[in-house]
Amino acid sequence: MSKPVSLLFGVHAHQPVGNFPEVLEDAHIRCYKPFLHVVHRYPDFKFAVHFSGWLLDYLFDHHPEDMKLLKAMVKRGQVELFSAGDTEPVLATIPNRDRIGQLETFSKKLNKKLGQRPQGAWLTERVWESTVIPALVDCGISYVIVDDYHFLCAGKTKAELNGYFTTEEDNQRLDLFPISEALRYKLPFSPASDAIAYIESLSEHQAASQRVAAIYFDDIEKFGIWPETYQWVYEKGWLEQFIQGVLASPQIMTSHYRDYHRSEKSRGIIYLPTTSYIEMNEWTLPADLANRYADLVQQSKVSGSYEHNKPFLRGGIWKNFFSRYPESNWMHKRMLSLSQRFASLPVKQQSATMREKLYASQANDAYWHGLFGGLYLPHLRRAVFNNIVELEGMLDLIAPRPTIYIEDTDLDGVEEIYLNNGILQVISKLDGAASICEFDAYKLKHNFGDTLRRQEEHYYHKIKYDMPNLQQSGSGIASAHDRLSFKHQISSADLEGGRAAQALFVESIDDHLVMYQFESKHDHGIKFKADFDGYKINKKIELIENQLLITYTSKSRVEGYLKTEFNLAMPSCDGVGGKYIRDDLVLGGFGQELELMDFTSIFLEDSTLKGRLLLSVSNESRLSSKPFYSVSQSEGGFEKIMQAIKLVLVWPCIPERLTISLTVVELGGVVEVYS
C-alpha cells in the first residue's frame, strides 16, 4: 500500500485596515469563531493559519475567548502559524527596509501573543516577485506558498507539483510550496466526500522516495462569509464532514508545512515569473484588454485546450494597478515618499507611532480592485490617507518641509505644486486645470480630495447584457467567482465613463474648460493665469490658517456663465452622519441632491469626520450638489458606491473679483436638527 498523502491544509484570515466594526463582527460570527470552534474539537487535524496583524489585534481585543482556543491549538501542536507583513502589504511594492520591518513586527507579535515564531510566510494576494526573497530570508522565513499557476508558467506540469521547490535571489535560498488550484476550487464548494476522494486519488502519483503533498492555502472567508457558505460549511456540516473524513481516511495524513519541509527533500531549483493568481492577472488589466483576455480564455476552454495553454494565457501583473488607476498610484507614491522621509530621520527620532502609521498606509486593500471592492471602497482609501496625513504632520514637526515646493510625486510626467501651512495642505497638478488633487486637514487627519474617477471596468459587460446567473446546478454551491447578482439597481448612466479626475475647483465658461498657466508662488499661496477668449483671468489659491481661499480676478467683467466644480470626499458619504446646514436648518444629507439659487454660505457637517466645512462665496451664486457614485463588484454582487459630493457653483458672469472659501472646523458639538 502506498504512503498516505500529506494534506497541508492552511487558511488565511484577513480584514482590511479601517474596515467597519460591524463587518468585522459579522466576519467573526459567521466565520472566525465557528471555524476555530469546529477545528478545536479535532486535535488530530493539523493545519496552518495566517491571521493578518491588524485582524489578530482586533480579535485579541474583542474576542479573547476565541483567541484562547487558537493559542491552545498552537500549544498542543495542532496549528502552525504563518508570517507576513503586519498590515498585509504586497511586499513587492514597498521598500526592502519596510519589508523587513513589517515581517519582523508580525513574527514578533505572533511569538508574543501565541508562543510560536513562524518559519513560513503568506504572500499577500500570492503576488510573487523574486526581489522579496532577501527580506524573507533575513527575517528567518524558510518557505512561502504561491499558486501552482506560478509553477506552470515556469514550465512545470501539474503532475510535478506535489512537493516543494527551491529558488534563490542574491545567493539567498527560499523554498516554495505550490497551492493546488483544484483544491482551491473544491474547498469548500464541492461536497466533502468529493474533496476527500480527490485528495485520496493523489496517492496514485506517489513516488517510492517522496511523499505526495496535497497543498491547500486559501482565504478562510470562503468558510462562512462568501454567499451561502455559512449554511453550507456549518449549518449543513461541511467542515465537520471534511475533517472527519480526512481523519478516517487511511490514505490521508494531515501534516504541518514545517514537518513536511523538514522531512522531505526539495523537488529541485525553480525561478518563477512575476505573477499572481489567475483571476488577478485579468483584474489588473484595463477593461478592454481584460475583456479580450477573458475571451481568449473562454475560447480556449470551449476548444478544450485551456489546461494545455493556461501557462501561456497570461494577463497583467499586480503593479499594473498603479498604472491603471491614477488614484492608486498617487496613494502609493505619497506613501513611498513618506517612507523615505521617515527612514532619513535619525533613529532616535523614529517613533514607534510613526512606524505604525507608515505600515498602516501600506495595507494592500485600497490599492487594487478585482472581485472585491478594494480601491472602490472610500473607507479603505480613507484609512490609508488618515495614516499618510497623520504621519506627514508628525514628520513636519521634526523635519519641516518648505511651505511651497514642486515635484513630480506620482511619476506621471506632470509636476505637482505643494502648498502647506502646518494646518492645511493643498496639492495642485500643473496640468493646466489649476485644480486641487489633494486637500488635507492635519487635525482631522483627512484628505478631502480622496475621490475616485469613474472608468470602464471589465465586468461592466456582464451588467450591460444582464447575463443570467452563472451558478451551476447540481451538488455543492457556487464560488463567488461564478455568480452574478445585484445589490443595487444600476442604470446605463451609472456606467458612463469619463477618465477625468474628480478634482477640486475646475472652471469652465459657457461649458468650455478654462486652462491656466502657473504664474508664481508667494508665502501664502500660488497664482495661475488664463487667457480666455481675449479676457485675462487670474486664479489664486491661498491657505490662511484653517481656510482654503480661491480668488478669481480680471481687469473687466467677463461675459459668460462661470462654473466651478469641486468634489469633496466626506466620510459619512450617503449615511446619516453627513448633512447640509444653513442658518441652523438641516437642508438634507450628502446622499441627496440640493439646489440653492441664492447661495452665499453653507456648512457641510460630518459626524464620522468629527468636523465640518464652511463653504462661502463673496458673490451670490447658484449651488447644486449631488452624490457622485461609481459601480463596483464584490463577492456580494454589483453595487453603487458613493465616492464624493459633487458641488457646482455658477455665476452669470465673472466679476472683477470673486472669492470662494472652504474653512475647516473641528466639530465642537451636535447641531440641533430643526423640523
User: Which residues are catalytic, by number?
Assistant: 125, 219
**How many CB atoms sit inside 10 A of residue 551's CB?**
17
SS3 content of the chain, % helix, strand, coil (to 5): 35, 30, 35
Give the residue among 129, 127, 103, 131 at the shortest CA–CA distance from 117: 103
Contact assessment for residue 12 and residue 219, using Cβ atoms and an 8 Å cutoff:
yes
Instruction: Count Cα atoms within 13 angstroms, Cβ side, for 292.
Output: 8
Q: For residue 431, what is the enclosing H or E element?
A: none
Q: What is the 3-state secondary structure (H, E, C) of 489-520?
A: CCCHHHHCCCCCCCCEEEEEECCEECCCEEEE
Cα–Cα distance measured from residue 137 to residue 176, given in angstroms and rounded to the nearest whole number: 12
Here the cell at position 526 is 500660488
Contact assessment for residue 143 and residue 261, using Cβ atoms and an 8 Å cutoff:
yes
Question: Which amino acid appears at position 387 of this protein?
Answer: N
For residue 507, the SS3 value is strand
Range 168-183 burial, b when 16+ CB lie within 10 A, else e: ebeeeebbbbbbbbbb
Contact assessment for residue 388 and residue 361, using Cβ atoms and an 8 Å cutoff:
yes
Dihedral sign of CA atoms 350, 355, 357, 363 in order:
positive
Question: Which amino acid appears at position 5 of this protein?
Answer: V
Here the cell at position 587 is 437642508
Contact assessment for residue 342 and residue 350, using Cβ atoms and an 8 Å cutoff:
yes
Contact assessment for residue 324 and residue 286, using Cβ atoms and an 8 Å cutoff:
yes
Range 125-156 burial, b when 16+ CB lie within 10 A, else e: bbbbbbebbbbbbebebbbbbbbbbbbbbbeb
Give the residue among 480, 479, 484 at the shortest CA–CA distance from 459: 484
